[in-house]
Amino acid sequence: MKNRSAENHRRKTHDAGLRAEHVAALWLRLKLYRILARRYRVNGGEVDIVAQRGDAIAFVEVKARQSMDEALTAITPQKRRRLSIAAARWLSANPWAANYTLRGDAVFIAPGRLPRHVICAYEMRLG
């Protein structure tokens, strides 16, 4: 029973994360961002959304929590390292983006609130 319960919890958490990423992508599109990639995964890291607007490429982390305060504190140092690994790999696969302004953005989602897009929410280490 415990394994089934844990699996159900993981599935619900995963599904909630996918919904949050979908909402975040829609929110960014409303702000005139072009979505270049979603759920970009490499060995050692993942970026939820890669988006472009003007001369900026944003590597966007999506965090959904029960409150906006919880969401705002959810990007840990370990998560920033994993985001930086994935962003560096995305850039090596997309050399055309090297001359763009590169940012680590976030979209925070909490029930009953509009999504909050924070530009330069975290520092990336790409070199």
Please give the Cα distance from 118 to 103 (Å, whole number).
Answer: 10
The answer to whether residues 70 and 110 touch, using CB atoms and an 8 Å cutoff, is: yes
Q: Which CATH architecture has domain 2-118?
A: 3-Layer(aba) Sandwich (3.40)
Unique residue bearing structure tokens 């305060």: 69
Share of the chain above pLDDT 70, in %: 94
Task: Write down the pTM of the prediction.
Answer: 0.87
Q: What is the domain partition of the chain in residue ranges?
A: 2-118
Helical (H) or strand (E) element with 13: helix 2-30
Hunting for tokens 């609130």 — which residue is that? Answer: 113
pLDDT digits (tens, 9 = 90+) for 74-86: 788 898 999 999 9
